[in-house]
Amino acid sequence: MVIHVAVGDLTQLTVDAIVNPSNSLGIMQGGVSGSIREAGGAAIEEEARASAPIAVGAAVVTGAGHLFCKQVIHVPTMEEPGMKIGVENVRRATRAALLAAARFNHQSIAFPAIGAGVGGVPFDEAARAMVDELRAHKQPQPSTTWLIVSRIEMVPAFEEALRLAYQP
């Protein structure tokens, strides 16, 4: 798997799927979820809510509305909106997204920094957990993964996690 780190807007990417770190109810009101709903339209949230409740550690794949990607992979990190979470939920959500991408034969997928916003997980811990799960994923899909951050000062944490993960 090729892994890229970039500063950007998740909702503007032309990948097979983007990852929405959500809640078990499928409510897309704030953070990354709110941005996805705003850019892609309410139909994404309606489709996700139709599958609720979604367990933490599970994934639901929906259409992408007006987004440039093909699908949105919703991975709950918390049961209700606004909850604080632990790093294990970041791991479970990342793993669920990768398995869903493989199941749908997605070659390219883009992740935000799962859990580092509303969930309250320190960014460096979230980055390490996500990279650990990317490294542990042994299926051929996705073959390309983007780790997208909103601010340039977040890039070094992902780069350090990648450097540490791939040291002999």
Average pLDDT, the chain: 96
Q: Give how many domains the chain has, as a whole number.
A: 1
The residues that bridge with 78 in the sheet, in sequence order, are 23
Confidence of residue 30 (pLDDT cuts 50, 70, 90): confident
Q: Which domain holds residue 147?
A: 2-165
Confidence of residue 166 (pLDDT cuts 50, 70, 90): confident
Query: What would the mean pLDDT of 19-32 be, rounded to a whole number?
Result: 94
User: Who's near 148: CB < 8 A, 6+ residues apart?
Assistant: 6, 7, 8, 9, 10, 13, 110, 111, 112
pLDDT in tens, 33-69: 999 999 999 999 999 999 999 999 999 999 999 999 9
166 CB neighbour count, 10 Å cutoff: 10
pLDDT in tens, 95-132: 999 999 999 999 999 999 999 988 999 999 999 999 99
DSSP state letter for 75 = E
DSSP state letter for 9 = -
CATH number of the domain within which 75 lies: 3.40.220.10
* pLDDT above 90 coverage of the chain, percent: 92
